[in-house]
Amino acid sequence: MTVAVRLAGFWGTVPRPLKIVVSRLFMLVPQLFGVMMVTFLLVRLLPGDPALLLLGNMATPDTIAAFRERLGLDLPIWDQFLRYVWNALHGDLGTSIFTSQPVVSDLLERAPATLELITYAMALTILIGVTLAIVSVVRPGGAVDIGSRIYGLAAGAIPDFWIGLLLIYFFFYMLGWAAAPFGRIDTFVTPPPAVTGFYTLDSLIAGNPQAFFSSVGRLVLPVLTLAIVNAGALMKMTKTVFADVYRSDFIRHARASGLPERTIRRIALRNCLPPIITLVGFMVGFLLGAAVLVETIFSWGGLGQYAVQAVVNSDYPALQGFVLVAATFILVVYTVVDILYELADPRIRV
């Protein structure tokens, strides 16, 4: 009891930002455990015997039994789960049936491709969405305001693959400005040695300008495609929130206090951050799987494509690996979102 009281007393003295980070990170442990359990059960819940599924129609009862033993399928379910967790923690997610490579190395090759695409696409989305929203609220009835309304309607209605195809048609086929939609880097350019997995960063680290410009060129169209589709939603939401804040009493009071308009806009934007953070976090998680059409069009070789391939080919180890990585990634993103959200709004009790 006294220990608990002393602990509570100590926790009270911890600065708020540290409190937020520590408590959120603490939450990650049970959450990750839950994710592992779900991915493990995923294969178990599929109809039929996993051994049969993995071996295919040509299996004899003998090979099935041997295979079951090798996979540990004859063990009690808790043992199996513990083995799965143990293996996963040691970087073993099984072998892909389709590529015949360890799932981990497959994922390690493809995950950075998708992450690089998502990162730049989100950065551009935020830039376009938030800027358009602010300008159209500050200058209502102006060209940007009217244009952004039309864009907001269109962005919700046009699918991403169609925009991707249009961009390829105009900028690659007709005008010849953009790089070819065949992968992340020119076939004649050697990819830089992997450090971060992002070609743009790795080529800078390796000091290879040729690889850098080639990979940036290849990024332009897919990033633009994703940003055009997603910026519409972000813009609409930011516009609503920002317009509300911009009309609020404290902004009016800031103006009456003679603060310059630039400062007032910054104050208003700062107050809009929490919902923006939430939506951006949601979009990042969503794009991980949803970018698959764009990845396919640009032959990107990313995670989404890999997952679709795994489903089409009944490649269960690969699928299991993808779900684990995707779920972990989304969990990390949401944790970051929660932390940022609480940091952005001092009114939230920690």
* Chain contacts with another protein (rule: CB under 8 A): 5, 8-9, 11-12, 248-250, 252-261, 263, 267, 270-271, 273, 344-347, 349-350
Q: How far apart are CA 83 and CA 72, in angstroms?
A: 9
User: Which structure tokens are listed for 335?
Assistant: 């944790």
* Nearest CB to another protein, comparing residues 225 and 271: 271
Q: Smallest distance from the beta carbon of 334 to another protein, in angstroms?
A: 22
**Three-class secondary structure of residue 102 per DSSP:** strand
Q: Smallest distance from the beta carbon of 247 to another protein, in angstroms?
A: 9
244 close to 228: Cβ distance less than 8 angstroms: no
Q: Who contacts 152 (Cβ-Cβ below 8 Å, separation ≥6)? A: 232, 235, 236, 239
* Nearest CB to another protein, comparing residues 259 and 290: 259
- Tokens 């800027």 identify what position? 131
DSSP H or E stretch at residue 1: none
* Nearest CB to another protein, comparing residues 21 and 331: 21
Q: Smallest distance from the beta carbon of 127 to another protein, in angstroms?
A: 22
* Nearest CB to another protein, comparing residues 10 and 78: 10
Q: Who contacts 105 (Cβ-Cβ below 8 Å, separation ≥6)? A: none
Residue type, 256: A
User: Which structure tokens are listed for 103?
Assistant: 């799932």
* Nearest CB to another protein, comparing residues 24 and 83: 24
Nearest to 322 by CA among 298, 292, 294: 292
Q: How far apart are CA 256 and CA 233, in angstroms?
A: 33
* Nearest CB to another protein, comparing residues 268 and 297: 268
Angle between helices 77-89 and 16-45 (to 10 degrees): 130
Q: Smallest distance from the beta carbon of 340 to another protein, in angstroms?
A: 13
Q: Smallest distance from the beta carbon of 7 to another protein, in angstroms?
A: 10
Q: How far apart are CA 209 and CA 203, in angstroms?
A: 7
Q: Smallest distance from the beta carbon of 245 to another protein, in angstroms?
A: 10
Q: Smallest distance from the beta carbon of 148 to another protein, in angstroms?
A: 20
Q: How far apart are CA 250 and CA 100, in angstroms?
A: 62
Which residues are paired to 102 by β-bridges?
Answer: 95
* Nearest CB to another protein, comparing residues 90 and 347: 347
Q: Smallest distance from the beta carbon of 154 to another protein, in angstroms?
A: 29
User: Which structure tokens are listed for 108?
Assistant: 């390690």
* Nearest CB to another protein, comparing residues 215 and 271: 271
212 close to 203: Cβ distance less than 8 angstroms: yes
DSSP label at residue 191: P
User: Which structure tokens are listed for 307?
Assistant: 């997952």
* Nearest CB to another protein, comparing residues 70 and 252: 252
Q: Smallest distance from the beta carbon of 222 to another protein, in angstroms?
A: 36
Q: How far apart are CA 282 and CA 34, in angstroms?
A: 20
Q: How far apart are CA 148 and CA 127, in angstroms?
A: 14
